[in-house]
């Protein structure tokens, strides 16, 4: 049993951030906790924002980032009853206490004592991670453990937006912005699986063919052309019933112009971090619903595992890189150079 492990430490946020791959002491599982040997960890836009120092609130100093974690339980602390050594697992996005009212209601991701994994406490850009037993979800033996890292974020987060927030129905037209990114590429699949006609909006024409394979009825490129014109052309000037927006302010107002009367616009990603100008009268007279969606519950993560098992959802990880190449992974993400997620794997 090694006494130390390799981990990616965020020494100092900034542009560029100061990162180091260091030897740190093995984390020790306390009562109710499990030590997990990390198989893979997805590199999320959230990680990029913390690295740059855009997201600072609640971030642990010298944090080990990464909240999209899969692996195998190695050891458990006292009193653990729901997992044991050898179990293949994925972590929820929040370290949940399992006992508060929200955990008991199945809203573990809003646990009153919850800490963000890879944010308020150390995450999965490391060989090992310790989380509470209530933060772990089993991975069926038939499924690939590395790509299972994506079951909570981004796939579960996308599922919550598409199925629960937007309540997409068969035959509806759904626009997905940022369709080539981690949230987008899975939202395209999930909306398609619910019977919607999906219009995928991307800035990367090279991703168009794969998006069509994954269920997009049409791929619209952002660029000099306002993509809302194409959405209106596809919908006989009605606009889209639903917009799953993983980009936010950078594509406003094209996104807003794409929304139909009675349309639902679900915001689940904000890449640039800027305000938009919205005329309340337009919201009123369009009978529009603007919804925010973040996080994912245990039940939805389990639903993702089932959907991957029987086919309608496929984890898309365009690249897998060793932990040491985290800076290259950050650059790929910033340049939108990969379809879906980049996975980091420990040595």
Q: Which residues bind Zn ion (CB under 5 A)?
A: 44, 97, 100, 103, 111, 153
Q: Which is nearer to Zn ion, 150 or 208 (CB)?
A: 150
Q: Which is nearer to Zn ion, 161 or 230 (CB)?
A: 161
Q: Name the minimum Å distance from CB 51 to Zn ion.
A: 13
* Residue 252: its H or E element: none
To the nearest 5 percent, what fractions of the chain are helix, strand and coil? 30, 30, 40
Per the rule left: phi > 0, alpha: psi between -120 and 50, beta: everything else, 240 is: beta
Q: Which is nearer to Zn ion, 76 or 111 (CB)?
A: 111
Q: Name the minimum Å distance from CB 95 to Zn ion.
A: 9
Q: Name the minimum Å distance from CB 110 to Zn ion.
A: 8
Q: Name the minimum Å distance from CB 175 to Zn ion.
A: 22
Return the residue nearest Zn ion (CB atom).
Answer: 44
Crossing angle between the packed helical segments 45-52 and 326-334, to the nearest 10 degrees: 100
> Distance between CA 119 and CA 169 in Å, rounded?
35
Q: Which is nearer to Zn ion, 103 or 193 (CB)?
A: 103
Q: Which is nearer to Zn ion, 27 or 181 (CB)?
A: 181
Q: Name the minimum Å distance from CB 42 to Zn ion.
A: 6
Tell me how crowded residue 271 is: count the other CB atoms within 10 A of its CB.
19
Q: Name the minimum Å distance from CB 320 to Zn ion.
A: 16
Q: Which is nearer to Zn ion, 171 or 273 (CB)?
A: 273
* Residue where the block lists tokens 């007279």: 285
Rounded alpha-carbon distances, angstroms, from residue 32 to 38, 101, 131, 196: 19, 18, 9, 42
Q: Name the minimum Å distance from CB 140 to Zn ion.
A: 22
Phi, psi of 278 (to 5 degrees): -125, 125
Cis check: omega of the bond before 253, within 30 degrees of 0: yes
Q: Which is nearer to Zn ion, 174 or 333 (CB)?
A: 333
Closest CA to 245 of 217, 276, 271, 226: 271
């Amino acid at each position: 049993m090694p006494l130390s492990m390799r981990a990616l430490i965020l020494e100092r946020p900034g542009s560029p951030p100061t990162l180091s791959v260091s030897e740190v002491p093995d984390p020790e599982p306390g009562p109710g906790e499990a030590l997990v040997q990390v198989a893979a960890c997805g590199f999320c836009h959230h990680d990029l924002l913390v690295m740059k120092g855009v997201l600072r609130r609640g971030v642990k100093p010298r944090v080990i980032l990464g909240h999209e974690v899969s692996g195998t339980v190695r050891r458990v602390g006292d009193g653990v009853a729901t997992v044991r050594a050898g179990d293949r697992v994925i972590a929820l996005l929040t370290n949940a206490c399992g006992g508060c009212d929200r955990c008991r209601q199945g809203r573990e991701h809003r646990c009153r004592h919850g800490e963000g994994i890879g944010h308020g406490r150390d995450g999965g850009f490391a060989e090992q991670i310790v989380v509470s037993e209530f933060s772990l979800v089993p991975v069926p033996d038939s499924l690939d453990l590395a790509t299972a890292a994506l079951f909570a974020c981004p796939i579960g987060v996308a599922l919550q937006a598409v199925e629960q927030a937007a309540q997409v129905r068969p035959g509806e037209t759904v626009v997905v912005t940022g369709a080539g990114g981690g949230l987008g590429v899975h939202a395209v699949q999930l909306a398609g699986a619910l019977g919607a006609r999906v219009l995928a909006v991307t800035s990367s024409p090279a991703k168009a063919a794969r998006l069509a394979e994954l269920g997009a009825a049409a791929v619209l490129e952002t660029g000099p052309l306002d993509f809302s014109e194409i959405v209106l052309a596809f919908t006989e000037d009605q606009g889209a019933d639903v917009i799953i927006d993983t980009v936010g302010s950078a594509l406003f107002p094209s996104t807003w112009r794409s929304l139909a009367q009675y349309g639902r616009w679900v915001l689940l990603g904000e890449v640039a971090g800027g305000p938009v100008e919205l005329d309340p009268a337009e919201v009123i007279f369009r009978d529009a619903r603007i919804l925010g969606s973040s996080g994912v519950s245990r039940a939805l993560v389990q639903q993702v595992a089932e959907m991957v098992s029987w086919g309608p959802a496929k984890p898309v990880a365009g690249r897998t890189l060793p932990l040491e190449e985290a800076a290259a992974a950050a650059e790929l993400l910033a340049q939108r150079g990969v379809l879906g997620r980049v996975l980091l794997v420990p040595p």
